[in-house]
Amino acid sequence: MGIYILKRLLLIIPTLFLILLINFVVIQIAPGGPVEQAIQQAENFQGVNRGTAGLSTSINESQYQGARGLSEEMVNKIKAQYGFDLPIYERFCLMVKNYMAFDFGNSFFKDKPVTELLWEKMPVTLSLGMWSMLLIYLISIPLGIKKAKQHGMFFDKSTSLLLAVGYAVPAFVFAIVLVVFFAGGTYFQWFPLQGLVSDHFQSLSLFEQIKDYLWHMTLPLTAIVLGGFARLTYLTKFSFMEELGKQYVLAARAKGFTENRVLYKHIFRNAILVIVAGLPEALVSTFFIGNLFIEIIFNLDGIALLGFEAIQQRDYPVIFGTLFLLTLFGLILRLIGDLFYQIIDPRINFDSRGVE
C-alpha cells in the first residue's frame, strides 16, 4: 500500500499541472477579461468627463482622448497592472512557479492576496460541507439499509415518496421555502436570514456562541440535507439489495447466523464499497459546487460564492486559486477514499494492481 500511495502522490503533480494548463488556456480565450473591463471603464469615465464639459467649449472635440479612445501608453499601463504585459507562456510559467510555493497572487478587484481571501471564506465552506455531509450520511445509510431489508413493505413504500421529493427538488428550492416560512419571509421569524454568526458573536459566552452558531446553521443545513440525502439513500438501498441475493449471504443464513450479524458483518463491508467510491466526488460537490445557491440565499460568504463572483469579474488569480484548491482537494480525497477501501476490505491490494 505504501508504494501505491507514493505513486498516487507523485501523480498529483502532473495532474495539477495539466488541469492548470487547461484552465489557463480556457480562461485566456474567454472574452471580457480584466484588461478589457478596465479599458472600457476608463473610456466611459473619459466619455462622461467629455460630456460634462459641454458642447459650447471652443476646444476641438477631437482633442479629447475619450473621443479617440485610450492612448497606447495608457493601455500598456493597464496591461502591466494586471500582468498582461508578458507573453502568455511567460505568464503561465510564472503562475506555476508561484503555485509551487502556494502563492496565488493578489485579487484584481478585492485588493487582497488570494490565499487570504480563501482563508477568510474557508470557515463558511467547511461548516456547510462537513456538517451537511455528516448529517446526510447519518440519515441516508441507516435509512437505505432499512429500506433494503423491508423492500416492498409498508416502510419502503411510504418513504419512497419522501425520497422522490428530495431527489427531484433542488436544495436551493428547499432553502427558499424555509426562508419564507421560518426566517421572516411570510410566516415565522424563528431563524436568522443571513450570516454564519451574529454581529455580537465575540461578546457571547462559549455556550451562547455554540447556540448562536447552530441557530444560524439550522436552515442552510436543513436545505442541503433535504436536497442531498435521497441519492445516497437510493445508492445504499440498491447496494445492499444486490448483496442480499448473493451466495455467501445464503450460506451465512444457512449456518444459523442472526440477521443483524449477516447484515452488518458480511454484507455491510461489501455494500459500503460503492458508497466509499463516490465519497470524493460527493465531498467536492457539496463543499464547492452544490452550496453556491445556499450561500447566495443565506448570504454566507464562502468559497463557492467567491469563485462565482471571480468568474463574473474575470478575477483570474481568484479563479485559478479556487480551481487549484478544488483540484488538490479532490485528488487528496480520492486517495483517502482508496485508503478507506483497503481498511474496509483488506483483500483489496492496490500495490498488485498498480495505479489506474
Q: Which residue type does 194 have?
A: Q
Q: Is pTM beyond 0.85 here?
A: no
Last residue of a domain, one of 49, 65, 100: 100
CA angle 92, 333, 145 (to 5 degrees): 150
Tell me if 185 is assigned to some domain: yes
Same domain membership, residue 253 and residue 177: yes
Cβ atoms within 10 Å of 142's Cβ, excluding its own: 12
Cell numbers given for 296 = 447566495
Cβ atoms within 10 Å of 354's Cβ, excluding its own: 9
Per the rule left: phi > 0, alpha: psi between -120 and 50, beta: everything else, 57 is beta
Same domain membership, residue 151 and residue 43: no
Last residue of a domain, one of 76, 100, 124: 100
Cell numbers given for 219 = 436552515
Tell me if 165 is assigned to some domain: yes
Same domain membership, residue 318 and residue 285: yes
Q: What is the DSSP annotation of 201-270?
A: GGGS-HHHHHHHHHHHHHHHHHHHHHHHHHHHHHHHHHHHHHHHTSHHHHHHHHTT--HHHIIIIIIHHH
Give pLDDT tens digits for 299-342: 888 888 888 888 877 788 888 888 888 888 878 877 777 777 77
Tell me if 4 is assigned to some domain: no
Contact 184, 193 (CB under 8 A): yes
CA separation for the pair 229, 282 (Å, rounded): 11
Tell me if 15 is assigned to some domain: no
CA separation for the pair 188, 307 (Å, rounded): 33
CA separation for the pair 173, 12 (Å, rounded): 37
3-state secondary structure of 71: coil
Tell me if 41 is assigned to some domain: yes
What confidence score (pLDDT) does residue 175 get? 86
Cell numbers given for 258 = 442472526
Contact 183, 219 (CB under 8 A): yes
Contact 225, 128 (CB under 8 A): no
Q: Which residues of the chain have pLDDT under 50?
A: 48, 52-68, 355-356
Contact 291, 304 (CB under 8 A): yes
Same domain membership, residue 289 and residue 151: yes
Contact 236, 163 (CB under 8 A): no
Same domain membership, residue 227 and residue 126: yes
Question: What is the extent of the structural domain holding 249?
Answer: 114-353
What confidence score (pLDDT) does residue 261 get? 79
- CATH of residue 325: 1.10.3720.10
Element (H, E) at 162: helix 154-168
CA separation for the pair 314, 322 (Å, rounded): 13
Same domain membership, residue 339 and residue 286: yes
Give pLDDT tens digits for 52-96: 444 444 434 433 344 445 566 666 666 665 566 677 788 788 888
Tell me if 6 is assigned to some domain: no
Cell numbers given for 241 = 439489495
Cβ atoms within 10 Å of 205's Cβ, excluding its own: 8
Same domain membership, residue 69 and residue 41: yes
CA separation for the pair 124, 292 (Å, rounded): 11
Closest CA to 272 of 142, 173, 179, 109: 142
What confidence score (pLDDT) does residue 355 get? 47
Specify the number of domains making up the chain. Answer: 2
CA separation for the pair 23, 19 (Å, rounded): 6
Residues near 69 by Cβ (< 8 Å), separated by ≥ 6? 43
3-state secondary structure of 134: helix
What is the separation, in whole angstroms, between the first and last Cα of the chain? 14
Closest CA to 331 of 3, 6, 11: 11
Tell me if 17 is assigned to some domain: no
Tell me if 1 is assigned to some domain: no
